Structure 1
């Protein structure tokens, strides 16, 4: 049986600490691809409120809508999210693996302070409203899993370290010995060496022209699986004001302070039941924790073109964020006492030692894209309204930058990562539609939103996000109560590692149902 003899390159293992361990295009997309948020009323109509006005969600979409408030209000919105995913390796016959991830969150809370002139008072400026509040704009909570068996047509996890040709100096091998003896690992190769998944061939050590590092041989069939768990959110604290000019033109502006936290844990396992190899299995575990903060600003306008027709538009500056990563990685292998493959050096039987990187911290900055919104709303007297929005997001304009004043800061240019952003992503359009029916003190709402696929690659996998929404409301005196449900569907396609196009491709189908309840008072 043909075994895979894997060689490791210096090119892939040198300099693994620092910026190279985490930052990349996926980080730029994660903090740029937002969702609509706000109280349950906003969510029930699919976030389509750019031209609607008198909605707290206008604070993050179009602050001109604050100018339509007739009364002050205070509200609080908790919520629960239930997520499910099905993951599989594309191109092989394997069953999808189901996983779930649930969360509790605060969707929105805030206050609107309205000040309006009486109809008998003179003046073109009829009043306005000041608002401040908290809105959750991105939900990172998700979990996915896959498992399957593949042969030589795909590269295993260990083969991601396959080398380029070249002669390494003796100091290269001495460095591996030093990492293992001190327990302070600084490279993927160091981890593999410390976990007995790689060894320096004893018959070659010290012979410069023939020096090499050999990995344990693997058989023809590899069973691989990976569990990826994400948690966290991106939220925004906003201050805004909207004013009314002759009750025909509404102008507003706002400033947002962004706060984000994201945690991703990945556990990849690989096993081989081939009796001809000593290798049995390995487990690679990584954890990335990212905290960030930033700011942005927005301006908006709404025109009451007809008594029942409103047209709105808003623009938002890029968000300027400072992010801090903490990264950990560990590796462990298990081995059998039997096997016909050559084993240089000593080899443990059973589970070998678990070895880990020293935690790496790195600070950097991110500029997310400019955003522009347009909307139309038509009111049906006291019976309700219909509304629709279109949003432009320039994902290709996201940029990563170094933060020389931060932890492990340096003068790294991020030019390769920013070029990858331009090559991988495209500018997209998001669509939102909603309607509300009013029945005495009750409200019924429906909505739909489609957020475009940000990837340039033209594949058969649509990675747009679809949101199906519904809601109910009650207005009783100065008290209001709203509930909303948002059902989200989206697909992900990714590779767990890169080996020149031979790595497995993973497709994950995701659904998530979020329900929120808003309680508030007007005064």
Structure 2
């Protein structure tokens, strides 16, 4: 594990420090989404069809439509975070309106009554794959390390003078801020002149450092797709779609480190680093799928989703305020100071992992008239190859990216992540015009070293529905628990401290639809 994060450190301090291995996971690890019906059954729609969510899971399900429909899905998110950092617990929450799957399906029976191709349907819809809105806080006492050490390490490895480092735009997001505010300086030691962070002297005096990190995030990963599905003898269903992922992520991170007791030398009080990132992007992907009915009650499905090719523009602005008391007083420095007065934008291409889905369902009283069916049980097994994700620099952009930067970053991805399985299962009971649903989904740990990084997500869901007179309404509540880790900073010469994060999120979805 230490090898991966040592390499990550070396990548992180290079040049712009814009792309981060954690971003790949953020933009490709997303939970159950779609209509309220789909979420209620755990997202296991891969072999069922007949729902607009098929467009985003297995477009072959569109081939089961014989009529059209319009769907609207408003919702409300209830986000509660419970974190632990070095033995100190913290909690935070954020509740917010959200908009789920909305769109049209245009379906019809066979164009030629004698044809074996029995149905055709087109769909165009919008869905939100991931919701990034969050407010997260953790804090604790650290007797082991200081966040200043990452900048002292970088300055020492650089080998240049302080003035030379301050004149290097590549150090504007971190090291230059620390040097300019005197969080880090050179000191005489028995080994000669060396870089040290002022908080390190408090640790040497057994004075703990109080550290706190706050993250305020907004945005999401949405997807617009258009797809087509058809059926052959109403036993084999084939579908394809093309989609445009739309990415927007706005994050403000504040990390504060302060002396838990007065510094006897009066030289360090506190330091606060505020980082603001705005990430925008859009791209393209494709998905193909099939559903087969060996008998009327059994449905088997398969779908493959290509990597999304996303062009990303990222802007970043950093500010550091350090109070060094009698040493240099209160000093403020911003990244714009070292970048000719303006924070730059970074352009890069993101290739998200490919994924494959196998699924099966059993339908009770599987007659041709779906109104007479009595319910179903269904399950999906999805494989996501996170090691296939990668970053690339667009050609001819003129960006000053160090040689081998993206190769190193992609190497970190392959060392840090692995392919994983996601299991989704659910069922529906139909009583005339009323429907009752339950579901469960488990998202596997994407980290290769599962002993050190325990992450994953479980979603429990349930809902009710009503269908009559060409209208339908579905109400769902989903409760998810996701465990993750967060490293407030990364050091190359010692084990890294991290926070255990538990995100408990409730989601209320209401899908309203009308047959066309």
Same fold (TM over 0.5): yes
Deviation at 1:176, TM superposition (A): 5.9
> Which residue in the other structure is 1:5 paired with?
none
Deviation at 1:509, TM superposition (A): 1.2
Moved more, 31-40 or 106-115: 31-40
Q: How many angstroms apart in 2 are the aligned matches of 1:189 and 1:354?
A: 14
Matched, 1:32 2:8: no
> Which residue in the other structure is 1:133 paired with?
125
Q: Secondary structure at the match of 2:163?
A: helix
> Which residue in the other structure is 2:294 paired with?
305
User: Residues 344-376 of structure 1: CA distance to partner in whole angstroms, max 9, x if unpaired?
Assistant: xxx22xxx1321102231111111111111111
Matched, 1:481 2:460: no
Deviation at 1:78, TM superposition (A): 1.2
Decide whether the 8 Å contact of 2:11 with 2:409 is kept in 1.
Answer: no
Matched, 1:41 2:25: no
**Which of these residues, 323, 328, 332, is aligned with residue 312 of structure 2?**
323
> Which residue in the other structure is 1:116 paired with?
109
> Which residue in the other structure is 2:339 paired with?
none
Q: Structure 2 unaligned runs (5+)?
A: 1-8, 337-342, 366-372
Decide whether the 8 Å contact of 2:434 with 2:467 is kept in 1.
Answer: yes
Q: How many angstroms apart in 1 are the aligned matches of 2:81 and 2:12?
A: 35
Decide whether the 8 Å contact of 1:84 with 1:512 is kept in 2.
Answer: yes
Q: Secondary structure at the match of 1:51?
A: coil
The Cα RMSD (Å) is 2.7
Deviation at 1:39, TM superposition (A): 1.2
Seen in structure 2, the aligned counterparts of structure 1 residues 160 and 106 have a Cα distance that, compared at 3 Å, is same
Q: How many angstroms apart in 2 are the aligned matches of 1:89 and 1:175?
A: 36
Q: Secondary structure at the match of 2:178?
A: helix
Q: Secondary structure at the match of 2:149?
A: helix
Deviation at 1:519, TM superposition (A): 0.9
Matched, 1:292 2:281: yes
Q: How many angstroms apart in 1 are the aligned matches of 2:483 and 2:376?
A: 32
Q: How many angstroms apart in 2 are the aligned matches of 1:212 and 1:307?
A: 76
**Which of these residues, 156, 159, 172, is aligned with residue 186 of structure 1?**
172
Residues 9-158 of structure 1: matches in 2 within 5 Å? 18=15, 20-90=16-86, 94-117=87-110, 121-151=113-143, 154-158=144-148
User: Residues 166-213 of structure 1: CA distance to partner in whole angstroms, max 9, x if unpaired?
Assistant: 7956xx33346769xxx9982533212332324567x99xxxx97665
Matched, 1:371 2:362: no
Q: How many angstroms apart in 1 are the aligned matches of 2:12 and 2:41?
A: 50
Q: How many angstroms apart in 1 are the aligned matches of 2:488 and 2:90?
A: 16
Q: Structure 1 unaligned runs (5+)?
A: 1-11, 338-342
Decide whether the 8 Å contact of 2:66 with 2:119 is kept in 1.
Answer: no
TM (normalized to structure 1)? 0.86
Q: How many angstroms apart in 1 are the aligned matches of 2:157 and 2:284?
A: 48
Deviation at 1:47, TM superposition (A): 0.7
**Which of these residues, 451, 454, 458, is aligned with residue 459 of structure 1?**
451
Residues 339-418 of structure 1: matches in 2 within 5 Å? 343=327, 347-348=328-329, 352-358=330-336, 359-381=343-365, 382-406=373-397, 408=399, 410=401, 412-413=403-404, 414-418=406-410
Seen in structure 2, the aligned counterparts of structure 1 residues 412 and 69 have a Cα distance that, compared at 3 Å, is farther
Decide whether the 8 Å contact of 1:17 with 1:187 is kept in 2.
Answer: no
Seen in structure 2, the aligned counterparts of structure 1 residues 497 and 143 have a Cα distance that, compared at 3 Å, is same
Deviation at 1:17, TM superposition (A): 7.5
> Which residue in the other structure is 2:252 paired with?
265
Seen in structure 2, the aligned counterparts of structure 1 residues 444 and 78 have a Cα distance that, compared at 3 Å, is same
Deviation at 1:472, TM superposition (A): 1.0
Seen in structure 2, the aligned counterparts of structure 1 residues 332 and 385 have a Cα distance that, compared at 3 Å, is same
Q: Secondary structure at the match of 1:279?
A: coil
Q: Secondary structure at the match of 1:190?
A: helix
Q: Secondary structure at the match of 2:410?
A: helix
Q: How many angstroms apart in 1 are the aligned matches of 2:239 and 2:444?
A: 27
Deviation at 1:87, TM superposition (A): 1.6
Residues 248-259 of structure 1: matches in 2 within 5 Å? 248-259=235-246
Deviation at 1:318, TM superposition (A): 1.1
Decide whether the 8 Å contact of 2:162 with 2:179 is kept in 1.
Answer: no
Q: How many angstroms apart in 2 are the aligned matches of 1:116 and 1:329?
A: 58
Q: How many angstroms apart in 1 are the aligned matches of 2:314 and 2:482?
A: 26
Seen in structure 2, the aligned counterparts of structure 1 residues 517 and 162 have a Cα distance that, compared at 3 Å, is same
Q: How many angstroms apart in 2 are the aligned matches of 1:34 and 1:501?
A: 32
Moved more, 505-514 or 188-197: 188-197
TM (normalized to structure 2)? 0.87
Decide whether the 8 Å contact of 2:292 with 2:299 is kept in 1.
Answer: yes
Decide whether the 8 Å contact of 1:429 with 1:451 is kept in 2.
Answer: yes
Deviation at 1:216, TM superposition (A): 2.9
Decide whether the 8 Å contact of 1:144 with 1:508 is kept in 2.
Answer: no
